[in-house]
Structure 1
Amino acid sequence: MTTTTSNADQDQSRCEAADVGPAAASPPREDHWDQEDGTGLYGPRGWTVRAGVWRELARCRDELRSTVIPAEFGHNPRGLITEEGAPQEDYTPYHDLGPGVARRLLNILPPAQLDDRQNLAPTLGALLHACAGAEGRVRLSGYAIGPQRPDERITVEGLWIEDRDLLTVEISDVHDEFCGCLVLWDTVRSRYELNAEAMPDEIRTVRRHWSHGPLGTWLWWD
């Protein structure tokens, strides 16, 4: 199903803190999604809540998209998850999802959801397997759609990779004939067995937490 839309040891992510629970938040709005008739993309409305998806994503809060950017426009934090493990809003971004969460999602997500992909990106299952098997060097970012909408799901848009050899490949902003993006993508696709239908829309070098953390390679699909 296609959907549209270091110092590493001192820089541990929430995603790696397996004993950390969801961030506290006020009760969700009265959306009554649990009383909706019909079935969503991958199960009855609310299947992500019942499966525990949101408790896992609460470990991977995207501070940039959830707090920093809304604050710049005078808005309160977005994408909060309640103590009961339910999203307050229909769209919740996440960032820096690590191997522990990836393994748990592989165990609780339905097979059809694992076959989902962000447009021409690799399937969710392929990305979660790459993350789970990379000992923390591969981190995932994306968003999840809550039971407030019938297309309830989790989607990966991009991955960050801490492989030193990738940083030696010269990447230009214009991706012309002198850019090494094709070589880099072929390396990543083969190394992590990614089944994308096209190369990423964006390839660049960024820090793990955008403004801080170790340098790595960022690949993102629109």
Structure 2
Amino acid sequence: MTTQLTGTPAKTLYGPAGWTRAIGAASLLLPGRIEATPSFARFDHLQADHARILLDRMPHAALADRQNEAPSVGHLLKAAIAHPDEIELAGYLIGPTRADERISLDMMAMRSPWSHFARTGDSEIDSFAKMPDFWLNLPYHCTRSQLWSRVVEYLDLGECGEPDEIEFFTPLTGTLGGWWMWWD
């Protein structure tokens, strides 16, 4: 009889087994979670501060990971860092017990910075003056492809495909919302 041994693989998809644990991915992506780095866990609300840490700590090969035709993890993290009032990311963490250990990003929420400016107490005129041209020059009626083309250029997302879903959302405050984009 042959005994099957299971455990942590020596090398995973993007580096040595345990790299997600070594960089503290679970504490960044799953705050408040008691268990160690899980086998699989979804996360959301990834913003600029944690994106910067991940960009600095992740193996180079892992930054090239793409969820289907999504922009690479590296491009999405850089977009969140460059546009902290506009971009929030979500995805999933695959822990070190699996050979496909990784951090994948499959969702991006792109919020209008108008709501941020409104909270600062600026006048409407001052808020418009601070608004990026992307938001001011967006056609009122544009196709999904036109919108995505402008988003890719504005956020410098590199080579990527359109999201499987693009949904418009409005915040409760009644100001301009943004888009929720997801790659299946």
1:190 aligns with 2:134: no
| Identity in percent | 36
* Equivalence for 2:181: 219
Q: Which residue in the other structure is 1:54 paired with?
A: 26
Q: Which residue in the other structure is 2:101 paired with? A: 152
- Report the Cα distance in structure 2 between the residues aligned to 1:127 and 1:193, rounded to whole angstroms: 9
* 1:203 paired to 2:152: no
Contact 1:58 1:81 in 2 (8 A): no
Q: Report the 3-state secondary structure (helix = DSSP H, G, I; strand = E; otherwise coil) of the residue aligned with 2:80.
A: helix
Q: CA deviation at 1:169?
A: 4.3
Partner SS, residue 27 of structure 2: helix
Deviation (angstroms), 1:145? 0.5
Q: How many residues align?
A: 155
Q: Which has the larger radius of gyration?
A: 2
**2:62–2:73 CA contact under 8 A, matched in 1:** yes
Alignment of 1:89-104 (within 5 A): 89-104=38-53
Q: Is the 8 A contact 2:39 2:96 kept in 1?
A: yes
Gaps of 5+ in 1: 1-31, 62-79, 171-178
TM-score (norm 1): 0.63
Structural RMSD (CA): 2.4
Distance in 2 (alpha carbons) for counterparts of 1:142 and 1:81: 19
Where in structure 2 are the equivalents of 1:153-192 lying within 5 Å? 153-163=102-112, 165=135, 169-170=140-141, 180-192=143-155
Structure 2 unmatched runs, 5+: 1-5, 115-134
1:44 aligns with 2:16: yes
Moved over 4 A (4+): 166-170
Report deviation, 1:182. Answer: 1.2
Indicate the SS of the match to 1:117.
coil
Task: Name the CA distance, whole Å, in 2 between partners of 1:135 and 1:96.
Answer: 12
